[in-house]
Amino acid sequence: MLAHVMESPRQLDPVPAGDEAEIVDGDAATHLEALVFDAALELAFAAVTDAFLIELVGQHLRLSGSIQIGFHRRLSDFFNNHEGLMHLKGVTILRRNGEPTKVTAPSIWVSPEEVTLIGQQAESTVRETPPDMLQEKRTHSLIVVTPGHTLSGDVHLNPEALLAAFIESPSPAWIPMTDVRTRSLADRRVISRYEFALLNRRHIVAATEMQPGMIKGRAVL
């Protein structure tokens, strides 16, 4: 931090001749404090702009906050390679229906074992995926039951992949889904929607492919 302060482009204004007597103890410290404060703001801004705004949903948990994914290009890559607790910043505890409460925290660590869904309102990325890494996908619509929710959404698999093999597989631990709609089993009036979400595979109690003729968006049991 000190090195960052010393490299700051801001410069002290020259002291006019004869004004040295006006400088008292604490002036230099006050200026240094201002520089450190500005540097902290720059770092905080960089952290926010390089972070994903997400929502964690579990059987007895719902909160929102931001998380940084480091060198990973996608949120799914980060969580499927992450070990240990999830570290979120700028956290707000939410009610069961998603409304924010007055309970907030600068940061919080959450056990992934208690999280069923990691939701985003938009599948935005902080880094663009190179065109040569994009692959053709086939969309499958699923209905899933978890300990606390029923949900419907789309998974996107390689054209040659079998849906049954994908569902039976133990990996990836977090399944990327789009157009997700959830209903709380504790209160069936609580319905939530996410443009993109990661589903904790370990929380799947039952899953089936949406049958022809079922109305998409109303397929939550």
The reported pLDDT for the residue numbered 91 is 97
The reported pLDDT for the residue numbered 99 is 95
- pLDDT means over runs of 10, the chain (221 residues): 42 48 47 47 45 93 93 90 95 95 96 95 53 76 96 94 94 95 94 96 96 67 62
Domain annotation for the chain: domains and CATH numbers? 136-209 (2.30.30.100)
With CA atoms as reference, report the closest residue to 75 among 194, 181, 176, 200: 176
The reported pLDDT for the residue numbered 214 is 73
The reported pLDDT for the residue numbered 71 is 86
The reported pLDDT for the residue numbered 7 is 42
Q: Are 43 and 162 in contact (CB under 8 A)?
A: no
The reported pLDDT for the residue numbered 1 is 42
With CA atoms as reference, report the closest residue to 47 among 9, 97, 99, 90: 90
The reported pLDDT for the residue numbered 100 is 96
The reported pLDDT for the residue numbered 51 is 82
The reported pLDDT for the residue numbered 178 is 95
Please write the tens of the pLDDT for every residue from 72-130: 888 999 999 999 999 999 999 999 999 999 999 999 999 999 999 999 966 544 445 55
